[in-house]
Amino acid sequence: MPDLESEVDALVLRYLMERGCEKSAQVFLEEAGIKQDSDNQKGELVSLITKGVNSMKSTGEDFITIQIALHKIKCEQKASNQTHPIVRKIAYQPELLVQSSKDAMSVTVRLNAGNPGKTHVLFCPNDWLLLTGSRYGSVELWDMSSNSTRLVKQMDHENEITSIDWSPNGLRFATGCSNGLTRVYSKDGLLQSQAKIVDSGINSVRWNGNADYFGVSFKDGRFVIFNNDGTIKHHFFEHQKEAKQVGWLDNNTAVTIGADGMLIVYKIGNLRPISAIQAFESPINCMSINIETSVIATGTDYNCIKLWNLAKMHPLERVDEYRKQVKMIRWKPFETNLFVCSFYDDRSLMAYDNEREATKSLNGHSNTITCFEFSRDGKLMASGSKDGTVIIWSGDESSSIPLKRIGRAGGPKITALSWSSDGNMIAASNRNGTIISFDVQNMRY
């Protein structure tokens, strides 16, 4: 007989498939290791929740929330005669789980950020507001400014959140969904505009430096530039395959990379791209733009990194010593000569200097690195991993020793992380839907 966890996994998979969320179902199927021949009967979802309630009763724990959810599920089933009603908004209400005093040497705040599978965490660039986004369609806005950490707003979408971005002035944020819907919200979470120009998933949403435009890339190859009020400024359809990532060279110049290996540059006011280069024969997985030097670093499945001078649009260097698929690239802030990259199925990070030589390897995780980010001043860097931990590193290229390890090895996979604007706090999400924030300034290294 399958265990309770396996039964729940199978039911969640069935629910996603019945809702038409094929992509989410496939991801969940692979990550949870579910056997596709699982057979669940009608009513088993209620039965499983009942088991959980009875278990909590026996241990004397609080089960009021689950009782309410169970009652609502039963009402939904009775009214609509559906096997699996939408329980997302019932069973996962965001709440503060644990919060320690800011007088502590190591401050940790744990937030139940709603649904599992949080894939986006982003601090406001000039405030203590934190955005979280889920593959199950929820976006939360948290106030992290005081001991009364609280949920400001929960914004529900019908489809997976694929991208979120704050405007650089912190007055707005934009969201992108897997169904092609783009929304713009005010700083306090009030919806200002929304647009859906095509029924194709969104890969990336990015604001320009002045916050008067934001670019959106789509899986069908489109790239659309919106005004900050949500109206369309330009609509391009240049990529032959999906347009993957958006970046801005300056306030009026945008860049996209694609699964077709193309690197394309656009200028506000021009109805056609100003440049398009076949950078690789394989998909470009990632890019990072050095604003100081107009140099862009691109990584691909061809196990190499190419550096481009965007002013002249020709390759400067090819860095291909590391024989793995390039996953993420980040230039160190305020540096013209140092960038860091990670690779698929790799536990380490590699740093390169202005001679395009590998200066150090950052080793410390026991499983694949899933995300990493520099603090805004570049003095520190944090990385998250499938091993359930976050490691803080020195931004000094001469140091490769971990400064601090946060979290429990073997815990839920870290899916995303973000630094606060002052560099004193890190927020990291894990696969269970928990957001953990750390007061870096008060940690002992």
What does the radius of gyration of the chain's CA atoms come to, in whole angstroms? 22
- What is the tens place of the pLDDT at every residue in 330-389? 888 887 777 887 877 788 888 877 666 667 788 889 898 999 999 998 889 999 999 999
The per-residue DSSP string of 279-340 comes to --SS-EEEEEEETTTTEEEEEETTS-EEEEETTTTEEEEEE--S-S-EEEEEEPTT-SS-EE
b/e per residue 396-405 (b: at least 16 CB within 10 A):
ebeebebbbe
What are the structural domains, with CATH classification, of the chain? 4-89 (no CATH), 94-439 (2.130.10.10)
User: Percentage of residues in the chain with pLDDT exceeding 90?
Assistant: 34
> Could you give the angle at which helices 4-18 and 44-59 cross, rounded to 10 degrees?
140
User: What is the chain's pLDDT, residue by residue, as a tens digit (445 residues)?
Assistant: 455 667 677 777 777 776 667 777 777 777 766 665 555 555 555 565 556 556 544 544 444 444 444 444 444 444 444 333 222 222 334 444 444 433 333 344 555 555 565 578 999 999 889 998 888 888 989 888 865 678 889 898 888 999 999 999 999 999 999 999 999 999 999 999 999 989 999 999 999 999 999 999 999 999 999 999 999 999 999 999 999 999 999 999 999 999 999 999 999 999 999 999 898 888 999 999 988 888 888 888 777 788 888 766 666 666 655 556 888 888 888 877 778 878 777 888 888 776 666 677 888 898 989 999 999 988 899 999 999 999 999 887 667 888 888 887 888 889 899 999 988 889 888 887 778 888 887 664 3
- What is the tens place of the pLDDT at every residue in 418-428? 999 988 889 88
CB-neighbour burial class of residue 30 (10 A; exposed 0-12, middle 13-18, buried 19+): exposed
> What proportions of the chain, in percent to the nearest 5, are helix, strand and coil?
15, 40, 45
